[in-house]
Structure 1
Amino acid sequence: MSARAVRLTHPERLLWPGDGLTKGDLYNYFGAVAGAMLPHVRDRPISMQRFRGSVQEGGFFQKEIPRGAPDWLDRVAVGKHGGSVCHLLANSREALQWLGQQGCVTPHVFPRRADRLDRPDRLVIDLDPTLEDFGAVRRAALACGDALRDRGLEPFAMVTGSRGVHVVAPLKRTRDVEDVLAWSRGLAEELAAAHPDALTTAFRKEKRDDRIYVDVARNGPAQTVVAPYAPRARAHAPVATPLRWEELHDDALRPDGWTMRTVLDRLDELGGDPWSDIAAAARPLPR
């Protein structure tokens, strides 16, 4: 047996009972999707959304890597007030499968890499709708893309597997977390001012009316974002799925349109990950 072999226990445990999907299916999915997923999680501290029963029974978030985790797993200490938290780095197929063994349905990652945790390399705009109107979300994502391009950045889009879209701009690591957060807040305010009937930066839901929340908080310190190709704890096991930008024009696009059972076929049909060149598109954050 390999020194990195992951022992899978209770593979029959149902995580998505309504869909017949088990812990073994999650483990196998992480192994199969690793080629596409690893470039987007490698060297990024992970916060684990874990489930000891089914996703309907509810889970919990865990930042600290559990005691007894194999020595071969990469990890990094992230400072916090009064100490530090030791996070997992999922840098191999076996590490992803270890997440499956832990019942980690959804890994969430830092938009920064472990060697320079103070310098983000991805700027994330989370478009969170109030209404079930995904056409409006697609239009908002396209507007975000235009605004980022106007400022010299290259946008990428991902349906979240939940209700919204993430628009992501890869960055050269020239600015610190607070600079990136402040810049993204300024961009969000400008977008909301340009589209006052459609977009808002109001944190409180009662102040949003029917508008889409332009959430840039994930660019702040110690914040995480759902990892590309991560399953979600929702019916049918939808997956956070990177898009080709032009897919935002497709009226048939859905935020939860690909699942653990279908996203691998999508990768085969596309000939690989639509975000495979995201790192090469990194630009300095403009001042």
Structure 2
Amino acid sequence: MTPITEVEGRRLSLSNLHKVLHPATGTTKGELLHYYATVSGAILPHLRDRPVSFLRYPDGPDGQLFFTKNPPPGTPAWVKTTPVPRSEDPRARQVMIQDLPSLMWAANLVVEFHTPQWRAEAPAVADRLVLDLDPGPPATVVECCRVALWLRERLAADGLESFAKTSGSKGLHLLVPLEPTPSEQVSAYAKQLAVQAEADHPSLVLHRMNRALRTGKVFVDFSQNAAAKTTATPYTLRARERPAVSAPVTWDEVSACRAPAELVLLMDDIAPRLERYGDLLAPLLDPDRAGALP
């Protein structure tokens, strides 16, 4: 029997709670749901008012993975959606995760949460800039940290404050709170930063996704600033062998990183970090911290 749970007045059927989703750690679906309930105060502000895309992995990271922007079949009527017209479907809508019941409903589908850099009320007008630092082996997150520190200084020279989070995979994401700016302008500026990083560090940085040149270098992916693109939402679990989280880190941790394991944050690490630091990405939600592009 599927247990029915009531969350803030909404009835939810939560299924397969004992199913192991991450065999390497024995992590069950019930533990995944508990994680999202525990960190809901941190993840919800980063999800709210943004159309959400889901990477679904109902049988764990080794099973079938599928990416969906459309509301999944059976989406309850009380889960908010917003119009996000696409060329192939001008009437398309996407889910918005506005509250705890919606979060727990989505988590029960076993998903990674991905969001654009803009809010539903202002499509293609970004309120944050993102740079995805992706290492080509044998480079690791250690090399990403070196690039992140350079980018942090470069952004600061333009009056912009940046914040770091793990990608939940091998790399690092840099996020910058912005005054609302058209996505095209943000993309152009982000590309300039990536090109300049490569010019300054040609042996370490790439600004183009060129697989042949990737070995030992950090690809600075600026493309996720395009209006149609999304990035892993802060605090989302990732479909990885272990239950890794795309989680904020301090600049001290970035500076001190000497081994990849130091910046692997798993599900059980997050509640203690929130207790210690609060949400390190809260400044992204503060209009007073938003900078203007030069």
Equivalent position of 2:99 in the other structure:
92
Contact 1:78/1:87 (8 A) holds in 2: yes
Residues 193-232 of structure 1 aligned to structure 2 (within 5 Å) = 193-232=199-238
Q: Is the 8 A contact 1:228 1:241 kept in 2?
A: yes
The partner residue of 2:32 within 23, 26, 32 is: 26
Is the 8 Å Cα contact of residues 28 and 97 (structure 1) preserved in structure 2? Answer: no
Give how far 1:52 is off.
2.6
Amino acid at match of 2:274: L
The Cα offsets for residues 117-164 of structure 1, whole Å up to 9 and x where unpaired, read as: 120011000111012433211110001111111111111111111111
Q: For the Cα contact (< 8 Å) 2:140–2:260, is it kept in 1? A: no
Structure 1 residue 236 displacement after superposition: 1.9
1:278 to 269, 280, 284: 284
Residues 9, 267 of structure 1: CA spacing in aligned structure 2 closer, same or farther, 3 A cutoff? Answer: same
- Alpha carbons of structure 1 residues 71 and 3: separation in structure 2 relative to 1, 3 Å: farther
- Partners in 2 of 1:201 and 1:4 — Cα distance? 46
Q: Deviation per CA, 1:38-92, whole angstroms, max 9, x where unpaired?
A: 1111111111011231221231111101232111111111111042421111111
Q: 2:257 aligns with which of 226, 229, 251?
A: 251
Correspondence for 1:142: 149
Structure 1 unpaired stretches of 5+: none
Q: Is the 8 A contact 1:159 1:254 kept in 2?
A: no
Q: Which stretch shifts more, 231-240 or 129-138?
A: 129-138
Name the SS of the counterpart of 2:195 in structure 1.
helix
CA RMSD of aligned residues (A): 1.6
Aligned 1:45-64 pairs, distance under 5 A? 45-64=51-70
**Residue 267 of structure 2: SS of its match in structure 1?**
coil
1:159–1:243 contact (8 Å) kept in structure 2: yes
Aligned-residue identity in percent: 31
Instruction: With the length of structure 2 as denominator, give the TM-score of the two structures.
Output: 0.91
Number of matched pairs: 283
- Aligned equivalent of 1:69: 75
**1:152 and 2:182 matched:** no
Q: Among residues 128, 140, 151, which one is paired with 1:133 in the alignment?
A: 140
Whether the 8 Å CA contact 1:231–1:240 is kept in 2: the answer is yes
Cα distance in 2 for partners of 1:226, 1:178 equals 20
Secondary structure in 1 matching 2:95: strand
Q: Residue type matched to 2:107 in 1?
A: G
Amino acid at match of 1:146: E
Amino acid at match of 2:193: L
In the alignment, structure 2 segments of 5+ residues that lack a partner are 1-5
**Contact 1:30–1:93 (Cα < 8 Å) also in 2:** no
Q: How many angstroms apart in 2 are the aligned matches of 1:111 and 1:269?
A: 27
Equivalent residue, structure 2, for 1:162: 169
Q: What is the rounded CA distance, in whole Å, between the counterparts of 2:122 and 2:115 in structure 1?
A: 14
Shift of 1:253: 6.5
Code of the aligned partner of 1:135:
V
Q: Once the 2 structures are TM-superposed, how far is the Cα of residue 252 of structure 1 from its aligned partner?
A: 5.1
TM-score (norm: length of structure 1): 0.93
